[in-house]
């Protein structure tokens, strides 16, 4: 059944009059639906702050954009109805929207909300086609989901869980998002080969620099969007270079005809390759809450002073990711939804900058218990210092290395930044090469590993302090991932700035041809790109490290290079080296035959924004260690550096690195050729 105004049932499709030639769904009469879709977008946008995971936030924002795009599309030409099919009216459509939104507000968990919004979007995808029979069927699916939610809302069982179990709302994964025909998704436009082409120069020119990207899409009427002769270019790196465009699926097909020399590639986002923290299941947080709140305090081991900003996760069921979590306040206190002496399978604390973490297994917590964190002692060497701490302050001199990351703090007293820029098209490339405002410490940590100029007892020396260090920030100040479009622009700029090596401490699971093309172009111009293999706990090598044109870097660790009982112990997993029993392949590191080299990546102490030092783990840390060792090695071969900047130069640099690498005794998939001296 279709739902009428206020959700009142209407006759079945076979009882509706048939549409005749000229019948339409009047766009003006759909204003109530448009208003409700816009309100839903606003409500859904509020869920961003409730879901801290970046992948979750991105999926929420995608639905917000979809709902807003849909409201713009509906406020356009009338929808022509298919003659002979049931004659659907705006009253039917508006009523169906009212009916399902009433049910939507009973949902509390994110996954069912995402699935429900997608059902609504699919309903309108069908409605825009004008086939009354298909519209009725889509409305029946939507109503079935709404009825299941509302019926379950009065039961003890959570309405969303009940609807999922009944199969009314389909199981949902964050990767299930798909673009509908009426949506203008963002694509990267590249030539068939390389990064520059006259074919790109022939496309529509970029809007004025002060024109917001959102306005470029929102200002299009549905009729204009449906009849674009050329793509809506949001940004252009060069007149004949890569471009970011907003295209509907129909636009993509038309572009294949009008510009066959242009590739249309999806926009892809990458995350920093830092070892992920253990987390509770987002859908089950709070499920083990006890009536009493347990209070604990996080303190400095030596001084017993409170430690603020530590993140504690207590797993009562580690396999199911059940438990409780919290952050320490200014007094070091954390309130946990746990009963006293409740069995905890795994307890982990991730320390703030300047502190190691804490790990305990099969434990309990007492009311008011003090949990000690050990402060970083710069006089005690970590794995990086054990390997490269004796390098000369001039190591790497004459070599230029670019760090494409979250930005580098140029004010840090132990870093010397030569230049750089921001490449974040969503923020009009504003903000410069410094650290991103949200989660911006990653790039500064990478830079310290690569080229720190500190000295004991107040600092640490990086692997190649003598390099010329460049920073290309691609992660937004607002937080979130870095787009492939911004990354290819940063690689292109790094090559233009004369970088010999580019450090890519980020990754993703999507097979992205856009970044690959930029890496190939860099190689052809004499620049090598080193990429972190990823941190999916022995998963497949992530992109872009997986591409053969990049040097894929895995992570290893050493027992005794981090404090006993620290959270880094979680990463000490087999296999251990047959040549040195203290060496292990990091438990988080991705592996595979694509691995080229390996470096220290567990419990690495390096620079952080604000002038201090902190601990991080990940293939993100191993990658600059290898890049620094590569720079130090290349500095001893000025003849190779002086070669013309072409593919032969890159091949000779690669030959030097591969020849110098030494096996640590691991299988190929864990270390590739091994460790650079």
For the annotated catalytic residues, the residue numbers are 405, 442, 620
Q: Which two tokens stand for residue 405?
A: 């990351």
Cα separation, 563 vs 212, whole angstroms = 49
What's the count of helices (H) and strands (E) in the chain, helices before strands? 18, 27
Q: What is the DSSP letter of 645?
A: S
Q: Which two tokens stand for residue 580?
A: 């040195």
**8 Å CB contact between 453 and 460:** no
The Cα-based distances of 166 to 112, 161, 203, 407 in angstroms read 13, 9, 50, 47
Surface-to-core class of residue 293, CB atoms within 10 Å of its CB (0-12 exposed, 13-18 middle, 19+ buried): middle
Cα separation, 534 vs 511, whole angstroms = 14
User: What dihedral angle (degrees, nearest 10) is formed by the CA atoms of 436, 437, 443, 449?
Assistant: 150
Q: How many CA atoms lie within 13 A of 600 on its CB side?
A: 30
Longest dimension (CA), the chain: 86
Q: Which two tokens stand for residue 286?
A: 């709070």
Closest of 447, 463, 445, 522 to residue 488, by C-alpha: 522
- What stretches of 76-204 adopt beta strand conformation (E)? 79-80, 185-191
SS (H, E, C) 387-437: HHCCCCCCCCCCCEEEEEECCCCCCCCCCCEEEEEECCHHHCCCCCCCCCC
């Amino acid at each position: 059944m279709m739902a009428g105004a206020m959700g009142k049932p209407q006759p079945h499709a076979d009882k509706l009059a048939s549409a005749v030639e000229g019948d339409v769904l009047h766009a003006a009469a759909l204003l109530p639906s448009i208003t409700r879709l816009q309100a839903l977008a606003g409500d859904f946008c509020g869920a961003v702050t409730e879901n801290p995971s970046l992948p979750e936030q991105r999926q929420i924002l995608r639905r917000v954009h979809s709902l807003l795009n849909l409201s713009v599309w509906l406020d356009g030409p009338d929808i022509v109805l298919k003659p002979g099919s049931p004659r659907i009216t705006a009253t039917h459509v508006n009523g169906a929207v009212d009916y399902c939104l009433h049910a939507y507000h009973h949902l509390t968990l994110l996954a069912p909300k995402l699935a429900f919004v997608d059902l609504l979007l699919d309903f309108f995808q069908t409605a825009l086609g004008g086939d009354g029979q298909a519209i009725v069927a889509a409305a029946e699916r939507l109503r079935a989901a709404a009825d299941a939610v509302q019926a379950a809302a009065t039961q003890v069982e959570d309405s969303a869980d009940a609807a999922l179990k009944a199969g009314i709302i389909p199981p949902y994964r964050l990767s299930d998002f798909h673009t509908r025909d009426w949506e203008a998704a963002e694509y990267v436009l590249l030539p068939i080969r390389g990064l520059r082409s006259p074919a790109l120069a022939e496309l529509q020119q970029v809007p004025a620099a002060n024109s917001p990207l959102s306005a470029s899409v929102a200002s299009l009427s549905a009729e204009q969007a449906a009849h674009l002769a050329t793509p809506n270019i949001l940004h252009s790196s060069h007149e004949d270079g890569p471009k970011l465009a907003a295209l509907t699926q129909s636009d993509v097909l038309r572009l294949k005809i009008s510009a066959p020399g242009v590739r249309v590639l999806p926009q892809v986002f990458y995350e920093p390759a830092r070892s992920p923290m253990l987390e509770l299941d987002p859908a089950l947080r709070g499920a083990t809450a006890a009536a009493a709140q347990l209070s604990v305090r996080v303190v400095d081991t030596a001084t017993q002073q409170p430690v603020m900003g530590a993140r504690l996760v207590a797993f009562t069921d580690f396999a199911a990711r059940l438990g409780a979590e919290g952050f320490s306040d200014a007094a070091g206190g954390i309130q946990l939804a746990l009963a006293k002496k409740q069995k905890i399978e795994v307890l982990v604390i991730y320390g703030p900058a300047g502190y190691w973490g804490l790990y305990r297994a099969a434990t309990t917590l007492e009311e008011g218990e003090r949990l000690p964190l050990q402060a970083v002692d710069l006089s005690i060497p970590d794995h990086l210092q054990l390997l490269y701490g004796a390098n000369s302050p001039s190591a790497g001199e004459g070599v230029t290395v670019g760090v494409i990351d979250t930005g580098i703090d140029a004010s840090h007293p132990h870093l010397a930044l030569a230049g750089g820029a921001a490449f974040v098209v969503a923020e009009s490339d504003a903000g410069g090469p410094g650290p991103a405002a949200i989660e911006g410490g990653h790039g500064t940590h990478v830079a310290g590993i690569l080229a720190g100029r500190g000295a004991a007892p107040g600092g640490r020396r990086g692997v190649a302090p003598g390099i010329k260090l460049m920073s290309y920030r691609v992660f937004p100040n607002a937080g979130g991932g870095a787009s492939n479009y911004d990354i290819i622009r940063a690689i292109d700029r790094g090559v233009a700035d004369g970088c010999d090596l580019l450090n890519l401490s980020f990754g993703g699971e999507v097979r992205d041809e856009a970044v690959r093309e930029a890496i190939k172009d860099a190689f052809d111009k004499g620049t090598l790109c080193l990429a972190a293999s990823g941190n999916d706990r022995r998963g497949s090598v992530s992109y872009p490290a997986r591409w053969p044109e990049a040097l894929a870097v895995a992570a290893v660790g050493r027992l005794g290079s981090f404090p006993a009982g620290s959270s880094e112990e979680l990463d000490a997993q087999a296999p251990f080296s047959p040549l040195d029993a203290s060496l292990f392949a990091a438990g988080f590191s991705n592996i595979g035959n694509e691995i080229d080299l390996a470096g220290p990546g567990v419990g690495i102490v390096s620079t952080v924004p604000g002038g201090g030092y902190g601990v991080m783990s990940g293939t993100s840390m191993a990658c600059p260690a290898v890049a620094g060792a590569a720079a130090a090695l290349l500095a001893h071969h000025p003849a190779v550096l002086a070669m013309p900047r072409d593919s032969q130069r890159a091949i000779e640099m690669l030959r030097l690195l591969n020849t110098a690498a030494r096996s640590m005794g691991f299988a190929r998939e864990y270390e590739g050729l091994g460790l650079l001296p």
